[in-house]
Structure formats: C-alpha cells, structure tokens
Chain A
Amino acid sequence: MSTKTIIEEFKKKYGTEILGEAVKNEKRVIITIKPESILNVADYLYKTAGFRFIIASALHTKKGFEIHYHFSKDDTGLILNVHVILDKEKPQIESLSNMFNASNWIEREMHELFGINFLNHPNQEKLISEGNWAEGVYPYRKEFK
C-alpha cells in the first residue's frame, strides 16, 4: 500500500476529526487531529493499518501542550505523526496504554516531566524519579530554569 492510499483511507474514515495536514514527502506525514479522537485513531492505526508505535514527543509551546504520536509503517518506511494540541492550563488526554504496552513508559515520563495527565492510564506512577522528586515540578516545561 502506498503512502497516498494509506492517507486517503485515513481521511475517509476520520475526515471530520482532522484539523490539519502536512505531507512533507512519501515518508513523512503529520496529521493534526482533535485530542478526543486519539483512541479511535490509534486503534485504527495499530490494529487495522498495521502501524508500529515508535514513541510520543511532548512539546511545550505558545499554543499550550502538544503531543506528536510517532507511528511507523515498516513495510513502506512511512512515519505518520499524529499531532494533538492540548489545553494550556489543564493538559490531559486519553491514555493509549490499555491498547498497547509500548506507550506505558513514555506516558508516565510525559506525566512526570511535562505534567500532562493521561486518563485511564493503568499505572501513572513516576518512571524516572520514583520517590525522590518534588510534586508539581515539571522540568521539561519552558518556564523551568
């Protein structure tokens, strides 16, 4: 399946959920979606379309908190970045860890370093600094010096 057909298929299914799209080339695509549809989109990518979850990157920008979920289609070399923008004051999104274990650690890490809350996470304890880090201090936020 070529990148074009994958993207068309994706749009047909989730057209109303898409807020923006940037196709850089055959192998690099960014699609911005509504945060509330992340579970459906990830379910489709992982179970139906055969994507592998690489990792997620959280960003702290002027718009608030953003997450890029990086998915890889290994037979074509495509990296699909599913991009969501979260609330500035109370960043939260559904956890993907009930679907696949691969996102378990990175969600805990983002919770710890950025203070993003992952709803329904099976075990949102601290990953890196268990027991020796102050509560409510998020070192990867821009205001942290």
Chain B
Amino acid sequence: MSKKTLIPIGPYHPLQEEPELFKLYCDGEIVKDIKWETGYNHRGIEKLSESKTYEQVFFLVERICGICSTSHPFAFANAVEEIVGKEITDRAKYIRSIIGELERLHSHLLWVGLAGHFLGYNTVFMWAWKYREPILDIFEMITGNRNSYAMFKVGGVRRDIEGTKIPAIQKVLDDFKKKADLLTGAVMDDPVIHARTRGVGILTKQDVIDYAAVGPTARASGLAIDIRKDDPYAAYPLVNWKVITAQAGDVFAKAEVRLLEMYESISIIEQCLEGLKKEKEGDISVKVTEIPEGTGNGRAEAPRGEVFHFVVSDGSSSPARHKIRAPSYVNIATFRKSCIGQTIADATISLAAVDPCYCCTERMAVAYDVHSGKKLMNAEELINLSVKRTNDIRDND
C-alpha cells in the first residue's frame, strides 16, 4: 500500500472560523481516508442546563449556536410545552414562525456567501452578505438584537410585533425578493459554479438514511423530510408552503434547495404577517405556573435541519435531564461518504456543503491532567482567577 500524506484542516478552520480538525489522508490529490477531531470547545451545556431554571435555560440554549440562535429555544419550548400540555395563542404562533423563517433566510444567505467564498467566487460572498444585512435590521427592530433574540419563553413569546412595524418588514421582504432573484440567477446559471459543484460530494438517498442526515442535506438527496410539515408546530400548519427537494445529492443540489427555500420562507413570513393582522395585539403568551413531572420531545426545523431536545422533568424548577441534538451532529458524520474519493479541492466544499456548525455539536469542557486524572481547575478557581486578573488590569491602569 502506498504511503498517504496527511493534510490537516484545522485545528481552527481558516474559513468557517470555528475550532475543529479534519485530517485528510491523501494519495496524491485524492482523499483516501478522513478523520475528525473535536472537543476544542465543548461547553457542558446539557449538564449546565440541569442547574438552571426553565426560564434561564432559554438563554442558555440560545447560545449553542450564533447563527440558528432561535431554533434551540424553539425546540426547547416545544418540549416543555409538551410536558405542560398547554396550547399557546395564535398570535404567539405567528410570531414564533416569523422569527424562525427570518432566521432561515439569513442563515441560508450566510451559507451561500460562504460557499461562494470557498469556491473563490467572492462576488457571491459579498452579494449574499450584503443582502443579509436588511434582514438583521428587521431582527433588531423586532427584538432589539441582531442575533440571540431572546424572544421565546414557556407559553409564548416575550415581545409583540405591533401592526405599525408590519409595513417596514413587508418593504424589506419586497426589496429582498428582487435581490434573491439576482442571487439565485448568479448561482444557478453560472458555468464556473456548475463545474465546481455538480457531481461533487454526492450523498445517495441510502447514505442519508444510513447516517440519518436531516434538513437541506437530506432534502437535496431526494428525501422529503421537514419537521415543519411532518410534525407541525407553531404557525406552520396555518399557512401554505411546500417542501423543496432535489434529487442529485451533490453540492449544487444542496445550494439549489437552500436558495429555493428562501422563497418559501418569504411566502411563510408574508402569510404570518397577514395572520397577525387578524389577531388581538398583546395576546402573546399564556400563563404557565408550574412544570409537572414528565418527558417532552421537542423538535424544530432549523436552517440546517431538525433540532431535537429531550427534556425530563421531575416536577422541580429545573430539568432533571436535557438532551440536545443539533442537526450538524448527524450531518457532519456524512463526510465519510461525501469526501472519500474526491480531490482535496472538492473535499473542502463537500465538507462545507452540509453547512456545518461545530459549536452546535460540542457541549462540555473540563481540564484534567492526563496522567494523574486530577482536575486542573474547578469553576470556583476559574472565577477567582478571572477576578484576580481583572483587578490586576485595573490596578495597573
């Protein structure tokens, strides 16, 4: 057997700017084997959640992922509301769906931009990120934040979308439609993008079933799974829209699914805004006084696929166990199918095609001495060190 060359991508990804390490074992230009190393940023969120109250957990899970920061609270709310067994108001449902779809829009734009950047097509990168800005502005108008919106709580949402804000949102959507046409055209009809992405990183339908991949990764391989349709929640059963699928399973198909999904998201938001006009303003939450004993399976369709939260309640004010499964956890594992046998240049875009989010998949950090097994630092020591360092800086100023 010939000797293989190791090409590392990481420990800090040069483009995605997140900590991970892909080890590509190559023979010449061809990737023969691939391994993944992680754990650089594992934050212990599942364990931490057990020490927080239900109200606090929303803020915690929102920080799992910066880009899809509403999908985790969305799934968590679904899980807890299943335990409580209370239906939220229609107005809250519409607001939840509007936030969820705006997030899908900006997340897909971010991916399209990054994918262009990966291919060396920086025009797409700049266009996509420029068009993303007005959507973040809407977020700022509705929630006060461009990211991490803090909109969700058990029984509803925290802030209303008043009727006076609707025309401004509609105007951004109208403007965006024209730009989306331009961007979609630039990507779908470009011969260079075709050459770089068609037939690259193919995942067959059977691969997707085997790895249980979700979201656009699964839909691009012809598997029409979408939690918004399959297990409807919030306002999705109240509006008309369709699940976008493609058959080829290559990188181009994944881009196609994401681009076309943006149009569905715009349509869902517009219908939800119409729905809001019929509901009474301010009617955004129902009162929940206690969380009874029980288990809840909450899920939501994030831009990257199904987010799953499993919550076990023992009747106290914090979850007894909280399991989180982010979509990237199952999607990244498919790289063994999509990258082996490709050239190195194609492997980088294949790895990016699932829109991976490494922080989503990591949830624990403890420092141990490998040899003695002793903990190097506990939480209290860490806080004391931080206080000391801060005081040192102050004293020296």
Contacts and interface: CB of A to CB of B under 8 A. Distances in A.
A binds B: yes
Interface in A31-85: 52-55, 57-59, 61, 68, 70, 72, 74-77, 79, 81
B38 A139 contact: no
Given A53-B212, A140-B47, A101 B370 contact: no
Given A57-B321, A79-B297, A134 B373 contact: yes
A54 B203 CA distance: 19
Contacts of A101: 210-211, 333, 336
B333 A54 contact: no
A135 B374 CA distance: 11
A16 B368 CA distance: 46
B39 A52 contact: no
Interface stretch (A2-10, A87-95, A124-132): A124-132
- Give the one of B82, B297, B299, B321 with max A CB within 10 A: B297
Contact of A139 (B37, B44, B211, B299): B44
A102 B330 contact: yes
A13 to B, nearest CB: 22
Contact of B230 (A30, A74, A81, A139): A74
B122 to A, nearest CB: 34
B295 interface: yes
A76 B225 CA distance: 11
B362 interface: yes
Given A100-B212, A136-B373, A139-B44, A54 B368 contact: no
Nearest to A76: B230
Contact of A105 (B308, B329, B369, B373): B329
Contact of A52 (B212, B321, B366): B212
Which of A28, A72, A76 is the most central at the interface, judged by chain B CB atoms within 10 Å of its CB?
A72
A134 B370 contact: yes
B209 interface: yes
Nearest to A135: B373
Contact of A55 (B37, B325, B366): B325
B39 A130 contact: yes
Interface in B35-49: 37-39, 42, 44, 46-47
B120 interface: no
Contacts of A116: none
B325 A139 contact: no
A29 to B, nearest CB: 10
Contacts of B232: 77
Nearest to A81: B297
A28 B82 contact: yes
A53 B38 CA distance: 23
B211 A102 contact: yes
B310 interface: yes
Nearest to A28: B297
B82 to A, nearest CB: 7
A65 to B, nearest CB: 12
Contact of B210 (A74, A77, A102): A102
B364 interface: yes
B297 A52 contact: no
A104 B333 contact: yes
A105 B333 contact: yes
A137 interface: yes
A57 B325 CA distance: 9
A113 B366 CA distance: 12
Nearest to A139: B366
A128 to B, nearest CB: 4
Nearest to B326: A55
Interface in B298-350: 299, 306, 308, 310, 312, 320-321, 323, 325, 329-330, 333, 336
A27 B231 contact: yes
Given A52-B212, A57-B310, A139-B44, 9 more contacts: A52-B225, A54-B299, A59-B320, A106-B325, A127-B38, A128-B38, A131-B370, A132-B368, A139-B47
10 smallest CB-CB distances across A and B, nearest first, come from A102-B212, A77-B231, A57-B323, A134-B373, A55-B325, A128-B39, A134-B368, A129-B39, A74-B230, A79-B297
7 contacts: A28-B82, A54-B308, A72-B230, A77-B231, A77-B232, A100-B212, A140-B364
